[in-house]
Amino acid sequence: ILNGEAVETEVTSVIKSSTSETGSLCCDFLNKSIGNLEKNTDMGIYGTYNKNYDLTNCSEYEIASPQETEKGFAQIICTVDSNGPQVYSAEITKISYNENVKNMIIRITDERLIEKTGGIIQGMSGSPIIQNGKLIGAITHVIVNNPLKGYAIFAQTMIEQSES
């Protein structure tokens, strides 16, 4: 995909992950444009919000440098039901500074999210990861044979990619 339109969605159901199958979010696309997609890369999809899109309920976070990221407690923000974006607990178990996309391994620890999704599922890519009050990255991939774990990219890498 070279470009496109970002639209609001509504989660309609969840197919849970298991060790033998990757789960997914099932959504309906709503007829409300929120922006334009301008770049599709290995490091994410980038674009701009429409000028009239209301961002007042969005949170802003300072971007952490890769060196500020540490193993241990973190949180992810994702929408997996009609309750909208929720904060869930996770753990950073590995950090790699030598990879372009797979900078971290994250493990879901929040029982609420595990109950709903079985771990990381398709549709959670791009979910922000917060640590020590800063945005450290975003989920990119599920580890198929262990859906409690997945890969993530540093937020700083995503910012640099968006500016190139």
Between these two residues, 1 and 163, which has the higher pLDDT value? Answer: 163
pTM for this predicted structure: 0.90
Question: Going by C-beta distance under 8 Å and a sequence separation of 6 or more, which residues neighbour residue 30?
Answer: 7, 8, 9, 10
pLDDT at residue 1 is higher than 70: no
User: In which band, very low, low, confident or very high, does the pLDDT at 151 lie, cut at 50, 70 and 90?
Assistant: very high
Q: What would the pLDDT profile of 35-93 be if each residue is shown by its tens digit?
A: 888 888 777 888 888 888 777 778 889 999 999 999 999 999 999 998 889 999 999 99
pLDDT at 118: 94
Q: Which two tokens stand for residue 80?
A: 């997996």
Q: How far apart are CA 116 and CA 110, in angstroms?
A: 10
